[in-house]
Amino acid sequence: MQVKVVKFGGSSLADAEHFRQVASIIRADEARRYVVPSAPGKRFPEDTKVTDLLYTCYEMVRRGEDMTPVFEQIRARYNGIIEELGLDCSILEDELTFVRGALLHNSGRDYAASRGEYLNGIVLAKYLGFDFIDAANVIFFCDDGSFDAEHTNAILSEVLQRHPRAVIPGFYGSMPNGTIKTFSRGGSDITGSIVARAAQADLYENWTDVSGFLMADPRVVKGAQPIETITYRELRELSYMGAGVLHEDAIFPVRFAGIPINIRNTNQPGDEGTMIVAQTDKYDSEHVITGIAGKKGFSVITIEKDMMNAEIGFGRRVLEVLEEEGVSFEHLPSGIDTMSVVLSTQALEEHRDHMLNRICTKVNPDSISVEDGLALIAVVGRGMVKAKGTAARVFRAVADASVNIRMIDQGSCELNIILGVDDHDFERAMNAIYAEFVK
C-alpha cells in the first residue's frame, strides 16, 4: 500500500470545523498514514494565532507580569475545539496544567512556541484514532543548534515502523540535553518533509489555504494562474526570491529521498494543486516560463578600476571584505573594468561605511559607489532552454512598459533570468513580464 505523509497548516486547523474537514481528507485515502499538524491559526482576520499567544505568555513571565488572562485564552481555544468535536473534555487538562507550570518556571522561548503544535497534535490524534508521537522524542538537533538529519532519520524510521498511523507535531524537536528546540522558519513544513523521508513515503502532501503555487504573487499580479508541475530547482529559485506557500528549507529532506510534494488546499480538496518533483521532461509549452518572483530592498556596490581584469585576485579581495563583515551577496554582474556586488540593503546598512573603506584599502579602486532602491525579479522556467527568444521577450516586455533595466544576470543552466529594476518600477515590470507570457 502507498504511504502518504500529510501536513496541515495553522489555517487548516484553526477551529473544530476545520478539524472535521482535515479528518475527512485523511479518511478519504487509506494511504494518508502520518499526519503533521501546525498550531491553530487565525479563525478570522482580527484573531490571534495560538503560537503568538504562547509567545506573549513567555514574554509576560520574563517581565514579571501575570500571564493568566492570556493563558486562559489558550485553554479556552483548545477546550472549545475539544468540546465541539465531542471528545472527552479532560484530554488536555493535565497537559495544559503542565505547560502553564513550565512557562511560569521560565522553560524557554522555544518550549513556549512549540506547545501549540504539541497540544494540537494530541487533540488531532484523539479525534482520528491515531497514535501520538512527540516530535521531541524523534527529531533531534546538534549541540550547535543545527538539525541532526541522519540521527533523526534513523530513530524516526524505526519508531514509525511500530506505528502504522500516527500524528507527529510539526515545528520542533529536542537538543542533546533534552530541551526543546524549534526550527527557525517554516517549521511544520520541514517536519513534514523529515517524516516523509523517514517513512519512505510515496508522496508528501502539504495542505494549506491555497491551491498550490501561482505563477506570480497575486498581490502584485492579479489573477495569476496556478502552476501544475514544478521541479525542486525551480521551486528553490522562486522561493529564494520571495515566493511563498512552502519554505525552501522544507524541500531538502524529500529532495534527498526523491519524494514528490503535492501542495493542496484544505478548503478545496478537489483541486489537484501543484506537484513538486525532482525532474520532469514535461514543460508548459504555451507559457514557456514556470513562474515569476521578486523582492525589493537591494543595493549595488559598483567598483571601477582600469585594468581590473589583469589584476589577479581582485574579486577575491573584494569578497573577502564581505565575508569578514559577515555579509552575503546576491549577484556579481561585472565588466572588464567594473565589478558590481548586489546585496540586501538591510544587511549592508550597519556595515556600509566600514565596508567601503575596507574595500578601498584592499583593492585601491579608481571609484566606488553605492546605489540603493534596487528590486530583483527572477523569471524561472525549465522550458526556457528549449524556447528561442525567451530573454528577448522578457527584455522587450519590460522596455515596452517604460521600465529601465539596471542589471541582468542569467545562470549557465538557463533555468532563470534575473533582472534588476528600480524599486518603484517593480510592480510594473512584474505585470509586464507576466502579460508577455500568459496571454
Cβ-based neighbour number of residue 47 at 10 Å = 14
Angle at 248 between CA 56 and CA 109, to 5 degrees: 20
228 and 145 within one domain = yes
379 and 318 within one domain = yes
CB 5 within 8 A of CB 207: no
CATH code, domain with 160: 3.40.1160.10
pLDDT of 243 over the 70 cut: no
Number of domains in the chain: 2
Q: In DSSP terms, which residues pair with 173 in a beta bridge?
A: 181
CATH code, domain with 347: 3.30.2130.10
**E strand intervals along 235-350:** 261-265, 274-277, 291-304, 338-344
As a whole number of Å, the CA-based R_g of the chain is 25
Reduce the DSSP state of residue 138 to 3 states and report it: coil
Reduce the DSSP state of residue 159 to 3 states and report it: helix
Q: Of 277, 299, 320, which residue is a domain's last?
A: 277
Q: How many CA atoms lie within 13 A of 330 on its CB side?
A: 30
Q: Does any domain span residue 282?
A: no
Evaluate the CA torsion angle 84, 104, 45, 240 in order and state its sign: negative
208 and 185 within one domain = yes
Type of residue found at 40: P
The 10s digit of each residue's pLDDT in 132-178 is 999 999 999 999 999 999 999 999 999 999 999 999 999 999 999 99
Q: Does any domain span residue 285?
A: no
356 and 241 within one domain = no
Angle between helices 314-325 and 352-363 (to 10 degrees): 150
Contacts for 107-112: CB closer than 8 Å, 24+ residues apart: 107/180, 108/58, 108/179, 108/180, 109/55, 109/58, 110/172, 110/179, 110/180, 110/181, 110/182, 111/179, 111/180, 112/54, 112/55, 112/57, 112/58
Strands 229-231 and 274-277: parallel
230 and 156 within one domain = yes
Three cell numbers, residue 237: 529559485
Distance CA 16, CA 342 (A): 48
296 and 260 within one domain = no
314 and 248 within one domain = no
Phi and psi at residue 317, in whole multiples of 5°? -70, -35
* CA proximity to 348, closest of 294, 300, 417: 300
**E strand intervals along 67-218:** 131-132, 166-167, 172-174, 180-182, 203-208
Average pLDDT over every residue of 359-373? 95
The 10s digit of each residue's pLDDT in 78-93 is 999 999 999 998 999 9
Residue 119 structural domain: 4-277
pLDDT value of residue 280? 83
pTM confidence score: 0.84
Type of residue found at 274: T
Q: Of 277, 305, 336, which residue is a domain's last?
A: 277
Sequential DSSP letters for 50-108: HHHHHHHHHHHHHTT---HHHHHHHHHHHHHHHHHTT--TTTTHHHHHHHHHHHHTT--
Q: Does any domain span residue 169?
A: yes
Q: Of 253, 277, 301, which residue is a domain's last?
A: 277
253 and 328 within one domain = no
Average pLDDT over every residue of 290-302? 94
184 and 109 within one domain = yes
pLDDT of 118 over the 80 cut: yes
Confidence grade of residue 209 (pLDDT, cut at 50, 70, 90) = confident
241 and 167 within one domain = yes
367 and 395 within one domain = yes
Q: Does any domain span residue 358?
A: yes
pLDDT value of residue 351? 86
* CA proximity to 253, closest of 187, 314, 331: 187
pLDDT value of residue 166? 98
313 and 206 within one domain = no
Contacts for 148-151: CB closer than 8 Å, 24+ residues apart: 149/194, 149/253
Confidence grade of residue 284 (pLDDT, cut at 50, 70, 90) = low
Three cell numbers, residue 330: 546576491
Contacts for 246-252: CB closer than 8 Å, 24+ residues apart: 246/186, 246/189, 246/206, 246/213, 246/276, 247/185, 247/186, 247/189, 247/190, 248/186, 249/183, 249/185, 249/186, 249/189, 249/190, 250/186, 250/189, 250/190, 250/192, 250/193, 250/206, 251/193, 251/276, 252/193
Q: 3-state SS of 346-377?
A: HHHHCCHHHHHHHHHHHHCCCEEEEEEEEEEE
Mean pLDDT of the chain: 93
Q: Does any domain span residue 404?
A: yes
Cβ-based neighbour number of residue 385 at 10 Å = 12
The residue ranking higher by pLDDT, 210 or 272, is: 272
Residue corresponding to grid cell 483548545? 78
CB 2 within 8 A of CB 167: no
